[in-house]
Amino acid sequence: MLHLGSIGKTTIDVDVSFLILLGLFVMTFYNPQQGIQYALIWIPILILSVVLHELAHAAAIALFGYGASHIVLAGMGGVTVNERRARPWHDMVIALAGPFSSFLLAWLTMRLIADAPAVSRDPMLAAFLPLLVTANIWWGVFNLIPVSPLDGGHVVRHFFRIFLRERMAFLISIWIAMIAGTGVVILGFLIRYYFLALLIAWYVFTNFQQWKYFRDRGTPGD
């Protein structure tokens, strides 16, 4: 684990799996005709997008008075860890803060492109900024898929926790995750987004495992 630093009392660490993800993006988008520098653009895009997304979660947690968090960049993105017993609507807002920050960053970047044409004169910024917009729109939409561990899955569960008991909220959210996730998997294969389809298929499987745990033991298998 590599320690990046701290913002306030919130610490940020990087797992080796996130470094592998960065390498995969560079290899995927490397084009010999453009040069390695254009593939390397994905490194700051991914780091900036994921860190700001997770910082938005941490900021919402702090604003509700639950203290500092620990951010870990790992796997396909990141996770913000905070030991708290929050009200359901607090948890729902905290979950929504991440995707909202992604859409906000995309919008601010679009405004910068539109209002400051000079940035397009620099070849690297002309390549970097549009990709930053696209990455954050997709990152926000992806995280709103109602399948745990994505933010959308947490939003659904915490929404039902507002007016239902924990067990029923879990059961409804887990079935929504399995049904909606299966739909996304089918769509992913139809439009040939195979990586997306396989990733969501894995999430659906983990939700199914949680449901089996609930069925066998009568408590949510988080």
Each of the 222 residues of the chain gets a pLDDT tens digit; together they read 788 888 888 999 999 999 998 998 888 887 887 778 888 999 999 999 999 999 999 999 999 999 999 999 998 889 999 988 889 999 999 999 999 999 999 999 999 998 887 777 888 888 899 999 999 999 999 999 999 999 999 999 999 999 999 999 999 999 999 999 999 999 999 999 898 999 999 999 999 999 998 888 766 766
CB-based contact 170:220 (threshold 8 Å):
yes
Domain boundaries along the sequence of the chain: 145-222
The Cα angle at residue 33 between residues 27 and 34, in degrees rounded to 5:
70
pTM beyond 0.85: yes
The set of residues, in sequence order, having a beta carbon less than 8 Å from that of 109 and lying 6+ positions away, is 129, 132, 133, 136
Helix (H) or strand (E) holding 68: none
CA gap 179, 189 in Å, rounded: 16
